[in-house]
Structure 1
Amino acid sequence: MKLSYECGPCFLRQAREAMDLSTDDEILKMEIMNELFIFLSDNFKFGANSNGTGSAMHQLIKEKTGCSDPYYTQKVEGNEIALKLLPEVKKILNEDESLENYVKVAITGNILDFGAFTLEDDIEGVIRQALNKNLAVKDIEEFEESLKTHDKVLYLVDNVGEIVFDKLLLSKIKEYGLDITIAVKSEPIINDACRQDALDAGLDEYGEIVEIGCGTVGYVDSKISEEFRKIFNEHKFVISKGMGNYEGLTEVDLSYKDVYFLLCAKCDTISRDIGVNLQDMLLLKK
């Protein structure tokens, strides 16, 4: 996706949070913010890539502060929230074991996003509310047909914590007999899942874990490794979790693939682009 004017305040909010999590040096934070203003003055323009711009800002903060994983504590917190809610979620699935319900639970996990929500938000409360909502868009029949038609699937995960709920959907997908490849980030970025996070959550029980070759906000086609590009091109069936992957993949030719986006629309720009309301949850074939 391309930048909208609303991305500007969001970038600055994320930058403030990342700096506060990385250093207590107020002088350094002033210097970094000044550099970010200069960067945005040169790069915040119509036609610019939203994921690429956000990734560059987070990389600058990491380099200047020397903190390679600013959101480490928040990732631990995200896992704790997911594990705390897991018994409730499993009870919901025991009462309704439909594919749609497993998809909804996985999408609910997408709320565990410290890129979209602030650190002060009651994320646990928002998740509990979402568990009682229906999907606003649910291309479930097409999704199940893809599960029955293809012999393998590429699953692009998003956030730590969220992957606890992804594991439940992966177990359901495995019932269809597909080989599953699970793609994670190669380096920390916000609270996105890396290899060790996926291993800790036990995702390797259901498929091979691969790295995309970079640590970008969502999917940035110009930054992925050639090894992952080959994997991506070989898969005709892709499940994409989260807004960042949606933003990135909308700029890629997907005409030869069955691609399903599972996300909660947590910002106005994404909501308008898809044509849904803020906080809507969707399973969208695109």
Structure 2
Amino acid sequence: MKVVLDCIPCYLRQVMNATAQTEFSERESRELMYQILPMIPELDPEGTPAENSTLVLRKVNELLGIEDPFLSAKKEANEKALSLLPQLRERIRQSEDPLYTALQVSVAGNIIDLGIITDYNIEETLKESLSGTFARDDSKEFKKRLNQAREILILGDNSGEIAFDRLLVEELRRFGVHVTFVVKGQAILNDATFEDAAKVGMDDVADVISNGNGYLGTVVRKRSQELIEAMDRADLIISKGQANYESLESTREAGEKTYFLLRAKCEIVAGNLGVKLGNMVFARNSMG
């Protein structure tokens, strides 16, 4: 997915959301924004929104002098999500279609995106997700292919959300598959890292590996050799969140074995997916 003009305000909003995690005054935040503005015209217009956002956020962290401005927010999101797991696990267990319900729970966690939404309500989002359906739904096809699969790869997204992803992994394992879960190799926004995976016990149910970098999404040319091999080896891939969609949709590397699981949180992504803003999506990658 290529950048469009409407991506520029989003870059700046992410800057504001990053400074909001600090004790910077409004004046200090404004001065930082002024230092960021000159780099906007230098961003690659043929790149992806995820890659360009990463470059902006890296500069923000440098100017802030903080390696991970979202650290406290990430811990809070993980703790909140973990507190909800017992009741959600029981909800999945009692479901007539546990896999579908696990997908609904997993995508509900995708609302925890502090680059876009800072005032999310996870309980309300869970109620909405569990009572709703996917605007694009390839879950039946996925389940048929899952019955023949042996290796599943999940490209993770955010902290907090990763706890709900654990429930999805638990359900996938009932199909007799081995699951590998991918986190970021370096802190970026509130994306999940090894520390978040350990906090929610993801390493108890899946092999956890790094994408080899701190870029939002999965930038094909920045992947670690370990991730390249894991993607090649996987029979099916679940790609979580907008940034992974932005960087992988229609790519040969994602192929037809990749399914995007996300909530469309911006008009551009929603339009690209052919859904409405806020819709849930579980859709196979299109190579057309």
| Offset, 1:251 | 5.5
Q: Which amino acid aligns with 2:233?
A: E
Alpha-carbon spacing, 1:124–1:10, altered in 2? closer, same or farther (3 Å) = farther
Amino acid at match of 1:21: Q
1:11 aligns with 2:11: yes
| Shift of residue 135, structure 1, vs aligned partner | 1.9
Query: 1:96: which partner in 2?
Result: 95
Query: Take 2:12 and 2:122, find their aligned partners in 1: how far apart are those partners?
Result: 21
Give distance in 2, aligned partners of 1:140 and 1:228: 24
Q: Alpha-carbon deviations, 1:125-172, whole Å to 9, x = none?
A: 333333322222221121112211121111111111111111111011
CA contact (8 A) 2:159 2:196 kept: yes
Contact kept? 1:111, 1:127, Cα under 8 Å: no
Change (3 A) 1:141 1:128: closer
Q: Name the CA distance, whole Å, in 2 between partners of 1:127 and 1:207.
A: 24
- Tell me: CA distance 1:134–1:257, structure 2 relative to 1, closer, same or farther (3 Å): closer
Structure-2 residue corresponding to 1:242: 241
Aligned residue in 2 for 1:152 = 151
Relative distance call for 1:120 and 1:172 in structure 2 (3 A) is closer
Instruction: Pick closer, same or farther for the CA change 1:263–1:277 going to 2, 3 Å.
Output: same
TM-score in terms of structure 2 length = 0.91
- For residue 243 of structure 1, what is the amino acid of its counterpart? Q
Pairs aligned (count): 284
Q: Following the alignment from structure 1 to structure 2, what is the Cα–Cα distance between the partners of residues 101 and 26?
A: 43
Kindly indicate whether the alpha-carbon contact (under 8 Å) linking 1:22 and 1:67 is maintained by their aligned counterparts in 2.
no
Letter in structure 2 aligned against 1:241: K
SS in 1 for 2:165: helix
CA distance in structure 2 between the partners assigned to 1:81 and 1:18 by the alignment: 21
User: What is the distance in 2 between the residues matched to 1:128 and 1:256?
Assistant: 33
Corresponding position of 1:37: 37
Give the AA of the match of 1:249. L
What is the Cα deviation at residue 89 of structure 1?
Answer: 2.3
Measured after TM superposition, the shift of residue 107 of structure 1 is 1.1
Once the two structures are TM-superposed, the CA of residue 42 in structure 1 deviates from its matched residue by: 2.2
Instruction: Give the equivalent residue in structure 1 for 2:113.
Output: 113
Report deviation, 1:254: 4.2
Q: Which runs of 5+ in 2 are unaligned?
A: none
Matched-pair contact (CA < 8 Å) for 1:238–1:257: no
Q: 2:153 corresponds to which letter in structure 1?
A: L
CA distance in 2, matches of 1:25, 1:226: 42
Amino acid at match of 2:6: E
- The one-letter code of the counterpart of 2:238 is I
Distance 1:70 1:136 in 2: 34
Structure 1 residues 167, 75: CA separation in 2 closer, same or farther (over 3 Å shift)? Answer: same
1:20 partner amino acid: A
Unpaired runs of at least 5, structure 1:
none
Q: Is the 8 A contact 2:17 2:115 kept in 1?
A: no
Deviation at 1:96, TM superposition (A): 0.8
Q: Using the alignment, how far apart are the partners of 1:144 and 1:184 within structure 2?
A: 24
Query: For 1:43-94, what per-residue CA distance to the aligned partner results, in whole angstroms no more than 9, with x for missing partners?
Result: 263x232111100011111122221111111112212332343344234323
Shift of 1:30: 4.3
1:163-202 map, 5 Å: 163-202=162-201
* CA-to-aligned-CA distance 1:229-249 (integer Å, 9 cap, x gap): 222223242111111111111
Alpha-carbon offset, residue 224 of structure 1: 1.9
CA distance in 2, matches of 1:273, 1:191: 24
Percent of aligned pairs sharing the same letter: 32
Q: 2:77 touches 2:160 (CA, 8 Å); kept in 1?
A: yes
Question: Does the Cα contact within 8 Å between 1:110 and 1:162 map onto a contact in 2?
Answer: yes
1:284 and 2:283 equivalent?
Answer: yes
Instruction: Answer yes or no: is the 8 Å Cα contact 2:150–2:235 preserved in 1.
Output: no
Residues 110 and 161 in structure 2, CA contact (< 8 A), matched pair in contact too = yes
Report which stretch shifted further, 225-234 or 190-199: 225-234
Call closer, same or farther: CA 1:153–1:247 in 2, change over 3 Å.
Answer: same
